[in-house]
Amino acid sequence: MPANILFAAGDAQWQVYEQPLRTALGRAGITATLATDLPPAEVDYIVYAPGSAVQDFTPFTRARAVLNLWAGVEKITGNPTLHIPLTRMVDHGLTQGMVEWVTGHVLRHHLGMDTHILHQDGVWRPEVPPLAHDRRVSVLGLGQLGSACARMLADLGFATTGWSRRPKQIDGVRCLSGEDGLRTALACADILVLLLPLTPETENLLDARRLALLPQGAVIVNPGRGALIDDAALLAALDSGHLGHATLDVFRIEPLPADHPFWAHPRVTVTPHIASETRPETAAQVIAENIRRGETGEPLLHVVDRSAGY
């Protein structure tokens, strides 16, 4: 019997995902009905994105899994009507995009590129940056994205520290966990990269107290979640000169309002949530693989631990 797959991620996403999903399902040998409108009681799998019109999962009595198109799942994990497995998106296109964005901005700050790009004023500034092994970089969050970025930074020679809630091991990276480990990771971060999921435990993780633990002149690079940082505390630390710069790709409200102080702050770089994006071709392959696994009784990939929030 063909699998019935409901695409519940909005019309705009349907336009870009329909063909890649059909192609990926065919290559995986899956016979399926893929549509945006199916009787709930006949749906086997739900391809989902935050903001979907589907908020009550009770009518989907036959559904085996909800397959999230994005890496972030904080807007669905607490849904009290969801009692079937929820998977998050982990695909190599998204990971590669994040590695490239993070590496580019870490190198930008490490090499002091802004000084030369923004000051073409006839003044000769021969300041030579240190080598990477003399620049300390900490990555908070060692999931799929954080681990990949930490490995790349370590491979480039940076003195790289990683922190996660649970103990991890990554070749070439000093891995820490727990509250003491967090304080250590902050205290040794000339450049701090945030790649944590947003959960009740990580919201406002970087408050005034923790920002004060960073070295004088430290730089923050945040492609994770906007609410990981207390905005007012960040602006105060930048205004005081304790922090040298913040490069921010994610915000509490998106698009970032035109009158938000981040836009005009001389020590803030705003990028419009472009650090990495789910690519339809590669994401479709992950969705198809999980449906294949569901149909053959194999364990699903990237199942969310809802007690942890990711």
**Cα–Cα distance measured from residue 139 to residue 106, given in angstroms and rounded to the nearest whole number:** 11
| Residue of 64, 135, 225, 302 marked active site | 225
Identify which of 223, 307, 221 has the alpha carbon closest to the alpha carbon of residue 234: 221
DSSP letter string, 71-119: S--TTTTT-TT--S-EE----HHHHHHHHHHHHHHHHHHHHTHHHHHH-
Say if CB 126 and CB 178 are below 8 A apart. Answer: no
Residue identified by tokens 């930048």 is 238
| Residue of 210, 265, 273, 293 marked active site | 273
Q: Starting from the edge strand earliest in sequence, which strands make up the sheet with 174-177, in order?
A: 174-177, 159-164, 136-140, 191-194, 218-222, 243-248, 268-270
Q: In the annotation, is 27 catalytic?
A: no
Residues comprising the chain, all counted: 310
DSSP letter string, 163-180: EESS---BTTBEEEEHHH
Asked if residue 255 has a cis previous peptide bond (ω within 30° of 0), the answer is yes
Q: In the annotation, is 242 catalytic?
A: no
Geometric angle at alpha carbon 36, from 34 and 41, rounded to 5°: 80
Q: Distance between terminal CA atoms of the chain?
A: 32
Decide the pairing of beta strands 191-194 and 32-35. unpaired
Active-site positions read: 225, 273
